[in-house]
Amino acid sequence: QVVLSRQYGSEGRFTFTSHTPGEHQICLHSNSTRMALFAGGKLRVHLDIQVGEHTNNYPEIAAKDKLTELQLRARQLL
């Protein structure tokens, strides 16, 4: 089952939070041909995976969404 599928141009960035516990797989595909990579082309992938309850930057979320302290605590509980 595909939970999230995204396509980007030469650069892209996204954040995804799974609400389903268990094993997840991450698949990355390039639309570049092998010949382009062998001819000196570059393919750079930065993958930053954070897991656990402390992965969200709650002060940043509170500032962005203009949450009160109570609203922020409720979001953390969710």
Predicted TM-score (pTM) of this structure = 0.43
Q: Is the pLDDT of residue 67 over 70?
A: yes
What is the Cα–Cα distance from 5 to 2, expressed in whole angstroms? Answer: 7
Q: What is the pLDDT of residues 12-50, one digit of tens each?
A: 777 777 777 788 888 877 776 666 656 666 767 778 777
- DSSP3 helix / strand / coil % (the chain, rounded to 5): 30, 0, 70
> How far are the Cα atoms of 5, 22, 46, 47 from residue 40, in angstroms, in the given order?
28, 39, 19, 22
